[in-house]
Structure 1
Amino acid sequence: MQLLGIAQEPALLPAPTSEDQVSPKTAAALRAAMTRLFEGRPQRTDGCLTKENLYKEAQVSRATMNRVPAILDQRATVLYAHVSGLLRDTGSDRDVTDRATVLRTEVTVAGLVWLIPLLETAVAFHHAVRGAHDDLAATMDRLREATGNGDFAYYVDITAAMGDLPQPAETAVQWLDDAQSVRERWRALVIARRDHLRSTQ
């Protein structure tokens, strides 16, 4: 599937491995289906990159699809790459927030919720660079919700530092260096990105 307007190279598709517990014909059908979804050429589905669409596109059962782990791992890799694309365009006018909204839906539908904290941190970096304080606050609220179980809680501290906001009072994060030095380094990234964008205008 061509997510967010970024084309996927066929070479990204995993090659057959000894782990594939299906026939070569079935594995080939799944890989062909994944390629069609990546490239926006679905034949039997709406084209969204989901498990359900993958097995329907390949005309196999869900159980059969689950026996080909390399195919499923590829889905996470592609979505992760799109989050990286947001970081690449931080502070620019390249529809970062709109792309993030679409990507947030794709990640949720795909069941890869562990990517949400990273996605929200990338969006927070964008808002910090642009000085969009209200948008940054809204992003931090989503990030707190996504890390409420304690996993990836350090992203909240990182986001506060990037936005030059007070350290969260409830934080339990312990850094290897002192907290102030860590905060200054994250804030310096924002300042460096602003300087870079000014120099390229």
Structure 2
Amino acid sequence: MNLAMIQIIKTILFAVISTQVIVKISTYYLEGKQITKTENIILTLAMIILCGFVFLYSNHLAEDLFVIVFLAIVSLIDYHTKTIVDGMMYIGAILFAILSIAKGIELQALLLGGVVGLVSYGSIYVVAKVLYKREAFGFGDVMFMGVIGIYLGVKLTLLAALLTFYVAIIWILVNKIIGSVLKREMEVAFAPFMAISCIITMMLGDKIIQLYMNLFMV
């Protein structure tokens, strides 16, 4: 059996096992709702793709896999309940700090990343409340970006914060193309967009920044 096949098998096994962990933990917070078989299959396929992505591009494999599992749990809960659980954010902050230190990130740098995440989305949250008398997203999303910032650091947190809106725009366009109706007053779970942008930034953030610099800062 060649190395490529072994890697594929490892990716699938981790994705399948982690999906069951994600479902078990998320179900506890779903307010009586259950994950359907279809959702379970979709989540498993998504985890296979994401884990394969990480196996290909990650320089910190174990840490990044832990992050993806946590992001998936928060996203699944938010998708079903439109709520980000405060307790999960406290756990995530501690977990991401430990993982960041394991990567060799200094305490000051990871704390600064968390502050940048909080301030970037906190500013949007406050401005929307003051000017438009409504929330651009929930305060839980502000906390979630703060947690993400602890792991990504300042530079990549700013990229992930911006990239989230592009991911959301793509999702809206896809909904329009396939004929789904997105009502203006409809509440949309924002955490999945943040999770996707975080994963993209984890794997390709430095390359994206370098590409931008080459194209526009010459």
TM interval, short-chain normalised = 0.3 to 0.5
Looking at secondary structure, tell me which structure has more helix per residue.
Answer: 2
TM-score by length of 2: 0.32
TM-score by length of 1: 0.34
Q: Which has the larger radius of gyration?
A: 1
